[in-house]
Structure 1
Amino acid sequence: MKKLILLIAATFAVASAKTESEITKKMKEFKIIPDIIPNQVPELLKITFDSGASVNMGNEITPSEAKNQPKVEWNADKNAFYTIVCFDPDAPSPKNPSISNLVTWLVGNISGNDIDSGYVLAEYYAIAPPRGKDANRGIFALFKQPSKLNFDEKPIDKYTIEGRTNYPLNEFTEKYGLGGPVAGNFYLTKFDSYVMEVYDMLNCCFEYNEPEE
């Protein structure tokens, strides 16, 4: 009986591995799953910026290319509501992630795939890492809501970092019954000149802009 149970478990594990999406595999490769997102991500979010850059499972995009809110597409249920979040788990830098899970965009109550219909909890700005050798990861995750929600978090405008750092994403998703992401994508980003504009806009973070060692 014990051998049979082990065989069934092994067969299930193999079957599960075969059904992993490409985005799940890539997120495991970049240590996003299970370190940051515990669940598999079944669908790839299509994310394009007006600069022409597109997010593609770990490709590199500069802060300048990602400066404006992107267009996001997915296989939406037109009768459902969604929440999308973009965050930086490495902030300010992979060597010193002291303000990790820095949220740079958060929108809830998105009707179908109409982002503009949603309730903006944190206005968008580009992930802006300081000078350094290692790239930060910018993660987009989409959640399907159980229904239209009444969010009680205070909205955050694009001119402040307050409320964005060390964001309790797990507590947020549990609080509103969001479950695991239904779609996602991510990119890598390093310092460029636009970062200083972001720091100036936020009136913060200049202390992280140390020269590369």
Structure 2
Amino acid sequence: MKLKKHFTLDIEQNKVNTFLASSTSQAFFVKPIDMNKLLIFLLVAAASTTSRAQNEESNITKALKSFKVIPDMITSDVPEALKITFNSGAVVNMGNIIYPSQAKDQPMVDWNADENAYYLLVCADPDAPYPEDPFLSELNTWMVGNIPGKNILSGDVLIEYVGSAPPRGADLNRYVFLLYKQPKRIEFEEKPIDKYTIEGRSNFSVNAFASKYDLGEPVGAEFYLSEYDDYVLDLYGQLQCCFELNKPE
């Protein structure tokens, strides 16, 4: 019994040794990888992926083009859709309808920020007061500069928020949020405008302002549509203007 046991163990050991020798032999004769060819392949694959990504329009860019924000206000593609939520619970989503009473308070805005950079955020109406006759366009409803990272409350308020106020009888107006990454902290020349003042808001040009301060192209955007509701009269009273823009009921 003892010899049989030893004999069995010897056979099993020989099988293991044979397997290891065979595996080692096969591994030894595997054709070596050409590292130069591998590197070229990886570079080509990476370039192809980058090219496809650059050629694919973002969803927000498609929406901006669909609603003519491109080219009415800006001309370049926008890589990121801002996340904008009002206290009413309304969420801005690529041209959805939000009524003035839902947008009366300054919204919360979020984006993928570089915490070491400064940003400028602006909201304007390119259709004011009537899309078919926008003689007040662009009407600036909010602008904050020198935003550190995405902390809007720590930025410099250039134009206080007043919300949307399309007059009675007007077709849907577009309200467009645009985000710019500043090259540095900026000393803006413009006198701040408070929420009770209409002067200085109308006939604003986002492109001219961005050019003046070398802001480049917007890095983020979002927009909604709005039409008259009764809150508009409250806002006109706050601004002490614009009642004459309402068409007869």
Fold conserved between structures, TM > 0.5: yes
Q: Output aligned runs, 1:172-211, within 5 Å.
A: 172-211=209-248
Encode CA deviations 1:60-90: one digit per residue, 9 max, x unaligned: 0000000000000000000000000000000
Helix, strand or coil at the partner of 1:33: helix
Aligned to 2:108: 71
Aligned to 1:92: 129
Q: Output aligned runs, 1:11-26, within 5 Å.
A: 18-26=55-63
Cα shift at 1:120: 0.3
Distance in 1, matches of 2:96 and 2:248, equals 24
Aligned to 2:118: 81
Distance in 2, matches of 1:114 and 1:77, equals 11
The yes-or-no answer on 1:151 pairing with 2:188 is: yes
Cα shift at 1:170: 1.6
What is the root-mean-square deviation in Å for CA atoms of aligned residues?
1.4
Unaligned runs of 5+ in 1: 1-13
Helix, strand or coil at the partner of 1:86: strand
Query: Which is greater in Rg?
Result: 2
Aligned to 2:160: 123
Cα shift at 1:35: 2.4
Q: Which has the higher contact order (CA 8 A, sep 6+)?
A: 1
Same amino acid, percent of matched pairs: 59
1:59 to 96, 108, 117: 96
1:50 to 66, 87, 97: 87
Q: TM-score, normalised by structure 1?
A: 0.90
Distance in 1, matches of 2:230 and 2:112, equals 35
Distance in 2, matches of 1:191 and 1:17, equals 39
Q: TM-score, normalised by structure 2?
A: 0.77
Q: Report how many residues are paired.
A: 199
Encode CA deviations 1:107-160: one digit per residue, 9 max, x unaligned: 000000000010000000111001125200000000000001110100000001
Distance in 1, matches of 2:176 and 2:205, equals 15
